[in-house]
Structure 1
Amino acid sequence: MMKEGAIKAADAQPADHQPLTETETVEAPPKKSRLRLILLLAVPLIILGIGAYFYLTGGRYVSTDNAYVQQDKISVSAEVTGRIVEVNVKENQPVKAGDLLYRIDPAPFRIALEQAEAQLAAAKVGVNKLQAQVAGGGADIQAAQDNLVVAQRNFGRYAELLKRGFTTRVLYDQALHGVQEAKQRLADARNTAQVNQAQLSGGTVVDQPAVQAALAARDKALLDLKRTEVRAPADGFASQTERLQIGNQAVQGLGMVTIVRSGATWVEANYKETDLKNMAPGQPADVKIDAYSGKLCGHVASIGRGTGSEFSLLPAQNANGNWVKVTQRVPVRIAIDCQPTRPLLAGLSVDVTVDTKERPLDVRPAPRPAPAAAAPAQPQKTAAR
């Protein structure tokens, strides 16, 4: 049986199997021992290096993926209400400040301007008439005074004749009534002159209140006519132009197109409140954009003065029995220092990592003043017994 087992074992060995020589049998153990020794030393060193790295850099870098590219956006709305008759801009079209975006039907505003100019002319005519009346008011007063003198003389003669009995009482009363009428005409002339003079504030025709009001109405109509041409307020790119259709009604104050301002780009990173312990403006930051490869360099420009929930439309009301503490987010503005190779679009998601190793000199807190030295205690004098 042992012989058959030996024969089977010999048959199971491959044909090219060669027996190990004495030299190979002796050298194999040292090679395995050397590899085992290297592994035993390398693995602890690698673990120690990783631990040392995390120990030295732990808390130095603060990262968040709740960050987005932001750009200044201007909502351009019409300042007058009217029908759109011309559109000169398309979606994502670059525009310069002053370029015509769209035009509102100017016909109603031209008519309003003509009416305002007619009212201005009528106001000037009225002022000229008042000036003529003021100039002629002195003559009316003088004529009334002369009539009063004549009436008084006539009344005096009738009074003397009545005493002598050469006239009747009726003629005397008529003369007296003539004096009273002359006095009333003189008073009316003086009042009319005062009223006309009060309606004129002095100066030229343009300085008169009625003319000034007509001029203001004319300027308002002219401004409304000018506002029928809606122009770009700044350089940038036109966006959300779907409302700009010929025939649509442009409503005053309603945004019709948005201009994304070019050249003003930053990143708004929403950090947890627990990450702001060592963060300060001026610290360097790395910005990685999800849409593009590579990183951008930047720095912390400013830290928000309130959490995101504090400025939300409906702030959280925590004064109830079901309150649960939630870590708040604080917006941190990251300024981009490197020139990007591709255009940055508003709203792109980014990852921001801030290096908080050193606090910038210009934002370090001022040293606290040393406490004033306490005054030496004065020895108390004991009263002599």
Structure 2
Amino acid sequence: MLKRVSLTTILLLAALAAIGWKYQQYLSNPWTRDGQIRAQVIQITPRVTGPITHIHIKDNSVVKAGDLLFEIDPRTYQAALEKAEASLAQANAMLKKAQDESHRGHSLARRQPGAVSQLTLTQLNNGVEAARAGVKVAQASVEEARLNLGFTKVSAPVDGFITNLNMRVGTQVVANQPVVALVDQHSFWIEGFFKETDIRDVSTGDKATVSLMSYPDQPLQATVESIGYGIAHKDGSTGVSLLPNVTPTFQWIRLAQRIPVRVQIEQLPPNIQLRVGTSASIIIHKVAPVTIEQIALKTQR
């Protein structure tokens, strides 16, 4: 009986020691399971309106910067360009006519002083300036029409992954309305949410270890890139009768808020593919703060 009690006591003490050691490790190295893979997502948005005539991508495909994604019917914009070019030619003809009339008027005034009034000469000069302005307007219209024609071909701005592709040939796209998402291949990072009490000694540059739920047996080395400076306040929003909406809480419970910490993976193995929104666990290896005694000891040395 005594042996059983002794064995039980030893096991209990060992368990308490393990719990204490683990808690101490948790205090010195903050850990969270509330991590998520993030990346910059570019909303591919056409600059012009029209039906899609060609689609050069598939859902969940990989694209390179400059790759053609899809094409919009260019006929309307080709016609607009030709019309603008015709208006430019007409404006140039009007400028030539105004310049000829001004040249004749000034030549006659030099040969026969007084044959042409000063008011007429001024009007001729103004006609030339107005014609030049008309040419500039026509040139701008041609450039705008040429740009719109070029916008009928939509290309990838960066390397990345196409996702949530739902359009088909014949789909009417509207200018400045996003149609597909492009995940920037070179912008992935991990965002973890730590209790405010756990990050008091955490600073930029601290090392971290990331475990992806998709690859639990391949921990990744990472570095703390930044720590969030604020989070949204849930209470205080306007409610009924323009009064602040405050959620009731128990007075003896004071929950620590969670602050986002951004970490960057140092080197990604080729067999791991990061995906936006998937889960991760993060451990931050704090750098022990230097005490005044340690500074004094180093100074003495």
Change beyond 3 A, Cα 1:71–1:239: same
Change in 2 beyond 3 A, CA 1:136/1:54? same
Determine the structure 2 residue equivalent to 1:285: 208
> Higher helix share goes to which structure?
1
Which digits, 9 at most, give the CA deviation of each residue in 1:74-108, with x for residues without a partner? 11110001111111100111111111100000000
Q: Is 1:317 matched up with 2:236?
A: yes
Q: Does 1:85 align with 2:9?
A: no
Q: Percent identity?
A: 29
1:345 aligned to which of 256, 261, 275: 275
Alpha-carbon distance between aligned partners in 1 of 2:23 and 2:173, rounded to the nearest angstrom = 62
TM-score after normalising by structure 2? 0.81
Q: Distance in 1 between matches of 2:94 and 2:177?
A: 41
Q: Helix, strand or coil for the counterpart of 2:84?
A: helix
CA distance in 2, matches of 1:236, 1:51: 45
Q: What's 2:241 paired with?
A: none
Picking from 78, 102, 108, the partner of 1:110 is 78
Give distance in 2, aligned partners of 1:126 and 1:92: 55
Is structure 2 residue 63 aligned with structure 1 residue 95? yes
Query: 1:120 maps to which residue?
Result: 88
Q: Does residue 198 of structure 1 match 2:139?
A: no
Name whichever of 105-114 and 260-269 sits farther off: 260-269
Q: Which 5+ residue runs of structure 1 have no aligned equivalent?
A: 1-31, 147-185, 361-366, 368-385
The TM-score, its normalising length taken from structure 1, stands at 0.65
Whether 2:194 is the aligned partner of 1:275: answer no
Task: Letter of the 1:191 partner, please give it.
Answer: L
Partner of 1:223: 147
Aligned length: 278
Distance 1:240 1:47 in 2: 50
Secondary structure of 1:219's aligned partner? helix
Q: Residues 190 and 286 of structure 1: is their aligned pair in 2 closer, same or farther, counting only changes over 3 Å? A: same
Residue matched to 1:50: 18
**What whole-Å deviation, never above 9, does each CA across 1:49-76 have from its counterpart, x for those lacking one?**
4266247435112122221111221111
Q: Secondary structure in 2 aligned to 1:101?
A: strand
Work out the CA distance in 2 between the residues paired with 1:71 and 1:322.
Answer: 33
Give the whole-Å Cα distance in 1 for the aligned partners of 2:31 and 2:179: 38
Q: How far is the alpha carbon of 1:40 from its aligned partner?
A: 7.8
Matching of residues 348-367 of structure 1 within 5 Å: 348-359=278-289
Amino acid at match of 1:65: R
Per-residue deviation, 1:274: 2.7
- 1:87–1:103 CA contact under 8 A, matched in 2: yes
Q: What is the distance in 1 between the residues matched to 2:246 and 2:275?
A: 44
Structure 2 regions of 5+ residues with no counterpart? Answer: 238-243, 296-301
Letter in 2 for 1:246: V
Secondary structure of 1:200's aligned partner: helix
Please identify the structure whose Cα radius of gyration is greater. 1
